[in-house]
Amino acid sequence: MRKRRKVDDSLEFYSTVRTIKAIDQSDVCLLLLDASQGMEKQDQHILWHILDSYRGVVVVVNKWDLVEKDEHTMNAYRAKLEEKMAPFSDVPVVFTSNLTKQRVFKALETALHVYHQRKLKVSTSELNDVFLPIVKDQPPPIYKGKSVSIKYITQLPSQVPTFAFYCNLPQYIKEPYKRFVENRIRERYDFSGVPIRLFFRKK
């Protein structure tokens, strides 16, 4: 039993190494889950590595044909996945069946869409026209009696969508406001499955 466990551990180790190497060489990753098992710890670790590496991701739930379901099953399953993917739950989920070929092409189409969105370039003029009114209408909370004013927004040259917000007191902008801004950007440009980066800089 010990020898068998040692072999299994070695196989899992080398499988993990190959997975990490494949992620690092990819633009978009399809994270394949077994519908009967859901997202397990190992799947979560792989997802975190994908996101930490700023790769695009699509979650593919396979063997969906084997699941007993009604009109609520898919939404309930997706909600459980989002809980396990939190705080980054803005990930497209496609339910497929290799046996029946259900939504297999949709998974590939979704991955291609994520790839294109990951390469998206937004002009500086558009960013300022769209988002300056938003941050002026809902500015960062006053901190230590001082107001933060965001004056200028631009996309930085990078392999992943990266945006710089220039303001007077960037050190006073906290995580909740950063998430608010990120969510507005995601909604505007359909960055589902695409990790993005935000920088708040002194101007």
Distance CA 97, CA 78 (A): 16
Which of 61, 95, 118 lies at the terminal end of a domain, its last residue? 118
Distance CA 57, CA 192 (A): 9
- 3-class DSSP state for residue 163? strand
Is there a contact between 153 and 165 (Cβ–Cβ < 8 Å)?
A: yes
Which of 118, 141, 164 lies at the terminal end of a domain, its last residue? 118
Q: What's the one-letter identity of residue 187? A: E
Average pLDDT, the chain: 91
Over the stretch 112-163, which tens digit does the pLDDT of each residue have?
999 999 999 999 999 999 999 999 999 999 998 999 999 999 999 999 999 9
Tokens at residue 23, please?
């992620």
Range of the domain at 180: 124-202
- Are 196 and 107 part of one and the same domain? no
pLDDT mean over 31-55: 94
CA 98 from centroid of its chain's CA atoms: 25
Report the CATH number at residue 28.
Answer: 3.40.50.300
Work out how many domains the chain is built from and give that number.
2
